[in-house]
Chains A and B, each alone.
Chain A
């Protein structure tokens, strides 16, 4: 196993880090889309975050590593067995599943287990990536290069939290709740606009331009390349701190209060920007709440909302191809209008 570049050793890219932390605290946020320049540590950040997440409790022997405490949301098997009493469980690492380019549909949703069918003539379901990603992360690098029908499929499952397989005489449904993280480079083709707003948060990453930061990044990467294990060990303390922060935020999340005045301001913000539907407002509220929890605060403040507004709304604005300033500038203006400078 190769050592991973530590999440906390990533320099800059605060927005990307915040978005990923929010998704780790509140997986219902609806996925994160990271778009930007090549070589800005997009995939490094996702993989690094995964390795620092606290382990989770899962039912022993369950193909979908169901949550033993989840009433009614586990797979059929766990629900059946769960009626007779508490299920044995174990601590497992949070799954982070890479969806490689060229993955076929049968491996994503699952299919007839060929080996068992051929050797024993049994009709068995071989789980796919969606099952493996349940309760964890599903990461797609170059999401803009993925076949459209696969992206549709993934977004559907991510939204419904359930994978329904009807193929080769199999009829299987199982829970598949995961945080979809997609990354890509817009120079290689953009994501279809109708897919954009189905991601909860959207991040734009740029290569830092100031020399000092660039030097620091190059030096750290160089140090990591030469001695990965030692480098990772040096950052372990920082990683632990972030892990503790995530754990604390998860405990706190339910009790974070969103004052009515803040709700009104968020509604004004969304209507001012003309975002369609309620999805934007809902995501904005959840993201603000998760940020407050990460801060250790029990009440959402205007500052929390301000920090996550670009993340939650940037990709929901009507596109105006002529406006070169782009959606970020429009959001900044709207935030100033709603909350004052």
Chain B
């Protein structure tokens, strides 16, 4: 365990998890919070217990359940109080209640996009701003967020939230070790002295330089690293940030955000020091060294899986995670509120209280005549329920044949067709995903996303050449279709190929075996019941692609006869049929 020996000043061996708890406990709001990767709920619970023990007495800690509604989170109309008082009464929400303390977000990888966005907005402003249900409200809400990420590797909490939480730790790699008593002494001492910790320009430069070397674009990470280093110094009883604090900050803040593997320190240092232009040669050296120390520390905190992943596809992982994909999931299950209609709240319909009260309001004087004042008289006539639009989010998966034979003939045209379809998906706010297969096998170029920018990039980078492992491509698509379905979305598949499979799943040649495998894969995928289109990209329509389409139960469309416009219409028609 590399982190045990860096515990400084205090004399105790502290793990990253211990440090994280102590740093957050010092000031929950200032570092934004912690993202905790925990395979088991118990690990997270014991860390939370440790943290709670360190907080100043009376610090609020609130749990945010995944199904929380906006009115509980932000504050909203208090039904009982409103009816009793006869005028709208507002109840404060969790965000305001957590002011000065912590919000704990279990299952953060599944949090609704709206909830994450509200947390992010309140974190930015330090207050919660409400404009809903007929009232305006502003309440102080400075809090830290503890996001528990208990998901599998492919599930990530929304990036717009994790970006705003300074510390990212993995409890499996670094479980809490210190006894709570020692840690609490440390925190109490730092709290009582309350000394201001200074940070030198060289150290700030080292942190910024390390962030750049690690491929961290956002400056928020550097700002957080500075804050964490400062608090760490205070905890260690120092009045100025020292190297140990930078190392710790690099491990807690920068390492987990790294998107590139930094050049290893054996290489000449000049290469990785682009700040030589400032003409401060003497300082440069120390800054450069410290930066390398920070980078090295950050490297150490990279989990081994991440390293492998980064090495395999460095160009892909600088994207911001897949958190956003959860939004349509929720939307499809509950539907989006698109207005109200008159009617009783039965059959699962949810009462829209504010509109009901508005409907009842004009009649109050008349209805109240024989009753005591102060009570709102609501009749069945007044009931208004939410009208929900059941919009099933669609994800269109493109499977693009980038093999040599395709590349020769029609890859350019296929790309053009995909682009037109992309533009269309973009207007419809569908998600798109892209898988390509070529001599190197099948590769997911783009997991489902709504960002045209990313889709465009991945298309431009589309590798080409080699054999045609069609079966592998179809298998990869089928996997993604299943994943999309699990999220409650409707998958659609567009396959662009000439159907001339010549690479088997095992990676060996052999046209007939490969084609047979492709057909088997297609038949298997047909069972998933996803709408599909096969676009034949060969110069003349060939029976192979048609056979694949047939096995898939897909529509067959030869590209030679279909100009881009026709293609687009065909795909649209398919999507509309699915929607019906």
**A contact set with B: CB distance below 8 Å:** 2, 37-40, 43, 98-104, 106-108, 111-112, 114-115, 117-119, 121, 123, 126, 128-129, 141-142, 145, 147, 149, 168-169, 185-190, 192-194, 207-212, 214-215, 217-219, 221-222, 225-226, 319, 321-322, 324
Given contacts A218-B226, A219-B204, contact A211 B209 (CB under 8 A): yes
Question: Contact at A187–B454, with CB atoms within 8 Å?
Answer: yes
Question: Contact at B223–A222, with CB atoms within 8 Å?
Answer: yes
Q: From A188, which residue of chain B is reached at the shortest CB distance?
A: B324
Picked from B136, B274, B364, the residue with its CB within 8 Å of the CB of A117 is B364
Question: Contact at B70–A114, with CB atoms within 8 Å?
Answer: no
Q: How far is the CA of A209 from the CA of B275 in the complex (A)?
A: 11
Check: B240 CB closer than 8 A to any chain A CB: no
Q: How far is the CA of A210 from the CA of B275 in the complex (A)?
A: 8
Check: B151 CB closer than 8 A to any chain A CB: no
Question: Contact at A145–B357, with CB atoms within 8 Å?
Answer: no
Check: B528 CB closer than 8 A to any chain A CB: no
Q: Which of B51-59, B122-130, B295-303, B540-548 contacts A (4 or more CB under 8 A)?
A: B122-130
Picked from A211, A219, A319, the residue with its CB within 8 Å of the CB of B423 is A319
Q: How far is the CA of A222 from the CA of B163 in the complex (A)?
A: 17
Given contacts A218-B207, A225-B30, contact A100 B131 (CB under 8 A): yes
Residue of B126, B422, B427, B453 with highest tally of chain A CB at under 10 A: B453
Q: How far is the CA of A176 from the CA of B132 in the complex (A)?
A: 19
Check: B435 CB closer than 8 A to any chain A CB: no
Question: Contact at B160–A209, with CB atoms within 8 Å?
Answer: no
Taking A112-B358, A188-B324 as given, write out 12 further A-B residue pairs in contact, using a Cβ cutoff of 8 Å, ordered by the A residue number. Answer: A2-B126, A102-B70, A103-B132, A106-B354, A114-B87, A141-B121, A149-B338, A187-B319, A187-B454, A189-B324, A208-B219, A211-B205
Question: Contact at A104–B131, with CB atoms within 8 Å?
Answer: yes
Tell me the total A-B contact number using a CB cutoff of 8 A: 181
> Within 8 Å CB of A211, what residues of B?
205, 208-209, 212, 274-275
Tally of chain B residues near chain A (CB < 8 A)? 79
Given contacts A211-B274, A222-B227, contact A111 B134 (CB under 8 A): yes
Given contacts A37-B217, A38-B218, A212-B278, contact A321 B160 (CB under 8 A): no
Question: Contact at A114–B204, with CB atoms within 8 Å?
Answer: no
> Within 8 Å CB of A118, what residues of B?
86-88, 357, 360-361, 364, 376
Question: Contact at A100–B121, with CB atoms within 8 Å?
Answer: yes
> Within 8 Å CB of A102, what residues of B?
70, 74, 114, 118, 130, 132
Picked from A106, A168, A187, the residue with its CB within 8 Å of the CB of B451 is A187
13 pairs, CB–CB < 8 Å, chain A vs chain B: A2-B126, A38-B218, A101-B121, A102-B74, A106-B132, A107-B134, A112-B358, A114-B357, A121-B362, A145-B113, A188-B451, A211-B212, A214-B219
**B contact set with A: CB distance below 8 Å:** 30, 70, 74, 86-88, 113-114, 117-118, 121, 124-126, 129-136, 159-160, 163, 196, 199, 201, 204-205, 207-209, 211-212, 217-220, 222-223, 226-227, 274-275, 277-278, 319-320, 324, 336, 338, 354, 357-362, 364-365, 376, 415-416, 419, 422-423, 426-427, 429, 450-454, 456-457, 459-460
Picked from B114, B196, B219, the residue with its CB within 8 Å of the CB of A207 is B219
Closest CB of chain B to A276's CB: distance in Å?
16
Q: From A222, which residue of chain B is reached at the shortest CB distance?
A: B226
Question: Contact at B208–A214, with CB atoms within 8 Å?
Answer: yes
> Within 8 Å CB of B211, what residues of A?
214
Picked from A208, A209, A218, the residue with its CB within 8 Å of the CB of B204 is A218
Question: Contact at B453–A114, with CB atoms within 8 Å?
Answer: no
Picked from B132, B277, B460, the residue with its CB within 8 Å of the CB of A104 is B132
Question: Contact at B118–A219, with CB atoms within 8 Å?
Answer: no
Q: How far is the CA of A100 from the CA of B133 in the complex (A)?
A: 13
> Within 8 Å CB of B423, what residues of A?
319, 321
Closest CB of chain B to A152's CB: distance in Å?
13
Given contacts A114-B88, A187-B451, A190-B452, contact A169 B419 (CB under 8 A): no
